[in-house]
Amino acid sequence: MPNIDPKKLPQHVAVIMDGNGRWAKMRGMHRVRGHEKGAEVVREIVRTSREIGISWLTLYAFSEENWKRPKTEVTALMKLLKRFLKDELKEMQENGIRLNAIGRIDKLPEDTRSTLFEIIEKTASNKDMVLTLALSYGGRQEIIDAIRKIAIKIEKHSMAPFDITEELVSAFLYTADMPDPDLLIRTSGEYRISNFLLWQVAYTEIYVTTALWPDFGRDEYLAAIQDFQKRERRFGATNSRE
Ligand code: FPP
């Protein structure tokens, strides 16, 4: 494996895949062509993650805010997602990859949603890596959904306000069974979190590259992992002995 220390791998890598539209525009193409190329890069990153031994990979594939895009683009993205899932099933089965989804999944079109559930079910017993797609996902919406569920429990007296701890809040998020991300990668040079995993990235290392998502690939990804391996994580503590 090229200069990757297997003992210092991030357990969970999350990615904000940005720049598909710009990539297409620079080439005089329709934005959808950028998403299509972006989907090919998703394949490469999933494959590379599995190969180097990443346990959790989470991709921001469609945000709550993305519903505001032109209908043609939204429809194309949903179709692309469905095709990607169908095409990837074989590889996921062969490589022990379990599919997972977070977000307000009920808002997805029926055919995309049923394909998603079908693949989640078929890959449910795979144990080597979890690929989570954030779909119709918003970090604030996720926190609101968690607060609502907690409030209902308090209203029913099955929980008291002082039962609310960090662990409890985490357990009510869409990511309840997942570790927090160790590394967050964002492409296309923007220094923003864009409503992605707001609670979960509290101590996450952030890596921003100027590469647009369709130009991102195995080498760029490995460079991000290498950069992560050079960092010293303190989680708010100090390593000073003085
Ligand atoms: C951002 O580019 C990307 C998205 C809104 C969606 C990400 C989708 C893919 C990578 C392809 C399909 C996904 C899967 C899982 C098959 P942008 O359109 O915001 O780019 P821009 O900022 O340059 O306009």
Tell me the per-residue pLDDT of 40-63, one tens digit each, with 9 for 90 and over: 999 999 999 999 999 999 999 999
Q: What is the pLDDT of residue 242?
A: 54
Residues acting as catalytic residues: 18, 66
Which residue among 27, 32, 35, 116 has the greatest number of ligand 1 atoms within 8 angstroms of its CB, and so is best to mutate?
A: 35
Q: What is the pLDDT confidence band of residue 236, given thresholds at 50, 70 and 90?
A: confident
Domains, the chain, with CATH or none = 10-138+180-229 (3.40.1180.10)
Q: What is the pLDDT confidence band of residue 235, given thresholds at 50, 70 and 90?
A: confident
Closest-CA residue, ligand 1 atom 7, reads 61
Q: Which atom of ligand 1 is nearest to the CA of 84?
A: 16
For 35-94, the three-class secondary structure string (H helix, E strand, C coil) is HHHHHHHHHHHHHHHHHHCCCEEEEEEEEHHHHHCCHHHHHHHHHHHHHHHHHHHHHHHH
**pLDDT > 80? residue 226:** yes
| pLDDT tens-digit readout, 3-38 | 899 999 999 999 999 999 999 999 999 999 999 999
Q: What is the pLDDT confidence band of residue 1, given thresholds at 50, 70 and 90?
A: low
State pTM to two decimals.
Answer: 0.96
Q: What is the pLDDT of residue 237?
A: 82
Q: What is the pLDDT of residue 193?
A: 97
Contact between 101 and 133 under an 8 Å Cβ cutoff? The reply is yes
